[in-house]
Structure 1
Amino acid sequence: MENKVYDLIARIEDGLGRFSKGQKLIANYIIEHYDKAAFMTAAKLGEVVGVSESTVVRFANEVGFDGYPKLQKMLQELIKSKLTPVQRLEVSSNRIGEENILKSVLQSDMEKIKVTLEEIDQEAFNKVVESLINARKIYILGVRSSATLASFLGFYFNIIFDNIRLVHTTSVSEMFEQIMKASEGDVVIGISFPRYSKRTIKAMQYVKSQGATVIAITDSKESPLAAHADLLLTARSDMASFADSLVAPLSVINALIVAIGMRKKQEVYDNFEKLEKIWDEYEVYEKYDNVGSRKNKDY
C-alpha cells in the first residue's frame, strides 16, 4: 500500500512540467500535505491553494481520475495506514468542530455502517459461517485496538463452540507459540484495521502456510491482510481523532455471531440454560423483583 502512495505522488510529480500554473499549486500542496488534502472537498482545496473549484476538478482528470471524488477517495484509502496519532489529531481537528463533536462522530459512524452494508460480500459472509461451523479448532487474533474486537468475538464464540482459542499476546514469539499447532481443518480469524498490525499479518502468513483456513476481517481488499486470507470480510473503519472508529467492524462481527447462533440454536440454548443456573448460584448479575426493586442479599 505504501508503494501505491508513492506511485500516486510520483504520477503527480511527473506531471509538474505540463500542468498549468493553478494545477501546479494543487500538485505541490498534495505532494506536501496529502494527509490534509484527502479530507478536503474540491472547493476547500481550491480555496486553500488559491484556485477555483473547477481547476481542482480538471487537475483530478489530468492525473487520471474520473472526477475529484475518485482522487480524494484514493488518497483517503492510501493514507489510513500511514497517519501517526499526532497527524490524526491535526487532521481530525480540521474535520470536526469542537461544538459538534458528538454529532459529527455519530454521523460518521452511521455512514461507515451504511457503506459497509453496501459493499460487504454476502457470499463471502455465508462461506465464513460455513467454515467456522465445520472447523476443528478456531483461533481468533487481534492486537492493539483490534484486540477489543477479538475479545468480543471470542466471548460469544466460547458460548457457542467448544473449540475456541483466543490468542493473547504481547509479543511476536508469544503469538507464534499459541498458533503453532494450527493446521488443515483449523480456522484462524485475523482482525486488523489501519494502522495494520505486522504481528497479525505475520501470524496469518504462517498459519496459511500450515494449511489452516484463514479469515481476514479488515477494511478493504487492499489491506495487507487480504493477501493471506482464504476468506475476506470488509468493514469500513475510520479515525475519530487519535482513536480508531470500529463501529462498522463490530457490527459485522455481531452479524457473524448471530448468524452462527441461528445455525447452532439448540447448542446455544442448552449452554445458556447451564450458564443461567451458574450465574444465579454465584450471583453474577444483579437481581430485580417483579416491581423493579433490587432483591435484598447478604454480601
Structure 2
Amino acid sequence: MKESSLNILNRIQLNYKKLSKGQRLIADYIINNYDKVAFMTASKLGEKVGVSESTVVRFATALGYGGYPKLQKELQEFIKTKLTTVQRLELSSDYNDEEDILKKVMKADVENIKKTIEETDAYVFQSVTDIILEAKKVYILGLRSSTVLAEYLGFYLNFILDDVSVVPSGINDVFDQLINIDEKDVIIGISFPRYSKKTLEALKYAKTKRAAIIGITDSNYSPIKEIADFTLTARSNMASFVDSLVAPMSLINALIVGVSMKEKDKITSTFKTLENIWNEYDIYLKNRD
C-alpha cells in the first residue's frame, strides 16, 4: 500500500520505530486523543505533550506530511466517521459568537465549494454522466441527511431520463427496491458523515448484481470509495452538528446540467409538453399584468 493512501494512525504505526523520543510522545498522545488533536495548534499540542512546537512540526514531516497543517487537516477528515453528534457539537467552539455565526457558516460553505471545484476530476465527471445516460435504469440512494440530495437529483433526472428510481427508506426495505437491479443499470449512492451503514450494504449488494456503482461522498476516506466504480467528492466540512450539504448540492446541480446538455433536444420537447400541462392545470402562479 502506498504511504499516501494510509490514514494518520497507519502512518504512525509504520514509522514509530524511526521516531525520536519526543516524537514518540506526540505519536502516543495522538493515538489516544486524535479527536482532540484534530483541533489543536502545533504549539498547543507541544505544550500538552511537553515538547517544543518545532518538534511537533518535525513529527509531521517525519510522517510524510508537508507540515503540521496538512497533518491536522487529515486528522479532521479521519475523525468525521468517528465522532458522535454530541462530540461534534462539543467541538464547535468556533460557532459560539451569535453575531459571527452567519459569516462563519457561509464562508465555510464557500470554502467547501472552492475545494470541491479544485478536487473534482473532469474525466471522472464526464465518465459519470456517460454511465448515467447509457444505463437502462438509474437508481438513486441516499439515506439520513443525504435523503434530500437523492430526492433533488431524482426530481430533475426524471425530466431527462426514461427510468429513474429514488430508493425510498420507508415501509419497504431498501433491498426490496433493488431486487431487479442488474448489469444494465446504475446506482448512485450518496453518503456523507456519519455514513449510513444501510447505504453501504445496498451498494455492495448492487455490486454483486454487476450494476455500475457511482458514489457521491465527501472524501477519499469515505467507505463508498472502496465500492464505487467512479466517485465524485464534494467537501462537507462540519459546522457544529449540522452536515454542510451546500457543496454536494452544487456538485449535483453540475451533474444534472452535464447529463441534460447531452440530451438537450429530448428535454426541450419534454419541457414544451410539460409547460402546456402546467398551464392547463394552473400549476404555477401566473405573471401579473
TM-score of the pair, normalised by structure 1: 0.85
Q: 2: distance between equivalents of 1:161 and 1:131? A: 12
C-alpha separation between the residues in 1 aligned to 2:19 and 2:218?
36
Q: Which residue of 1 aligns with 2:207?
A: 208
1:80 is aligned with what amino acid? K
1:220–1:236 contact (8 Å) kept in structure 2: yes
Aligned residue number for residue 244 of structure 1: 243
How far did residue 48 of structure 1 move?
Answer: 5.7
In the aligned structure 1, how far is the partner of 2:287 from the partner of 2:49? 63
Paired position in structure 1 for 2:156: 156
SS at match of 2:275: helix
- Deviation, 1:226, is 1.4
Instruction: Kindly state the Cα deviation for residue 158 of structure 1 after the two structures are TM-superposed.
Output: 0.9
Determine helix, strand or coil for the equivalent of 1:232: strand
Amino acid at match of 1:157: L
Match of 2:3 in 1: none
Shifted more, 264-273 versus 158-167: the winner is 264-273
Where does residue 262 of structure 2 map in the other structure? 263
Is 2:232 aligned against 1:230?
no
SS in 2 for 1:250: helix
- Is the alpha carbon distance of 1:46 and 1:286 closer, same or farther for their aligned partners in structure 2, counting shifts above 3 Å? farther
Match in the other structure for 1:104:
104
Cα-to-partner distance string for 1:172-214 (whole Å, 9 max, x where unaligned)? x711110111101111111101111111111111111111111
Identity of aligned residues (%): 53
Q: Does 1:281 align with 2:280?
A: yes
Check conservation: 1:5, 1:79, Cα contact below 8 A. Answer: no
- Does structure 2 conserve the Cα–Cα contact (< 8 Å) formed by 1:137 and 1:164? yes
What is the CA–CA distance in structure 1 between the aligned matches of 2:40 and 2:280, rounded to whole Å? 57
Higher deviation after alignment, 113-122 or 56-65: 56-65
Residue 54 (structure 1) shift = 2.3
1:293 corresponds in structure 2 to none
Q: Once the 2 structures are TM-superposed, how far is the Cα of residue 96 of structure 1 from its aligned partner? A: 2.9
Structure 2 distance, partners of 1:257, 1:167, is 18
Cα deviations by residue, 1:76-110 (Å, 9 ceiling, x for unpaired):
121111111111111112x3342311111111111
Give the one of 10, 13, 25 matched to 1:7. Answer: 10
Structure 1 window deviating more from structure 2 (33-42 vs 222-231): it is 33-42
Aligned-residue Cα RMSD (Å) equals 2.5
- Structure 1 counterpart of 2:21: 19
Distance 1:205 1:27 in 2: 35
Structure 2: stretches of 5+ with no match in the other structure: 1-5
Which 4+ runs in 1 deviate beyond 4 A?
3-6, 8-12, 14-18, 23-29, 46-52
- Residue 67 (1) aligns with residue 70 (2): no
8 Å CA contact 1:16–1:27 kept in 2: the answer is: no
In 1: Cα distance, 2:286 partner to 2:44 partner:
56
Whether the aligned pair in 1 keeps the contact of 2:12 and 2:63 (CA below 8 Å) is no
Deviation by residue 1:120-172 (Cα, 9 ceiling, x = unmatched): 1110110111111111000000000111110000000111112001100148x
Question: Please, which moves more after superposition, 76-85 or 42-51?
Answer: 42-51
* TM-superposition CA deviations, 1:197-248 (whole Å, max 9, x none): 1111111111111111111111223321111111111111111111100111
Mapped to 1, the partners of 2:183 and 2:25 lie a distance apart of 55
Q: CA deviation at 1:53?
A: 3.1
* Cα separation, partners in 2 of 1:96 and 1:47, compared to 1, 3 Å: farther
Structure 1 residues 285 and 107 mapped into 2: Cα distance closer, same or farther (>3 Å)?
same
Match of 1:42 in 2: 42
SS of equivalent to 1:240: coil
How many residue pairs match? The answer is: 283
The residue matched to 1:289 in structure 2 has which SS?
A: coil
Closer, same or farther: CA 5–27 of 1 in aligned 2, 3 Å: closer
Equivalent AA in structure 2 for residue 19 of structure 1: K
Q: In the TM superposition, what is the alpha-carbon distance from 1:59 to its structure 2 partner? A: 2.8
Whole-Å Cα distance in 2 between the matches of residues 62 and 260 of structure 1?
A: 45
CA distance in 2, matches of 1:286, 1:15: 70
Q: Which amino acid aligns with 1:86?
A: V
Secondary structure at the aligned position of 2:288 is classed as coil
Aligned to 1:272: 271
- Equivalent-residue separation in structure 2 for 1:256 and 1:125 (angstroms): 8
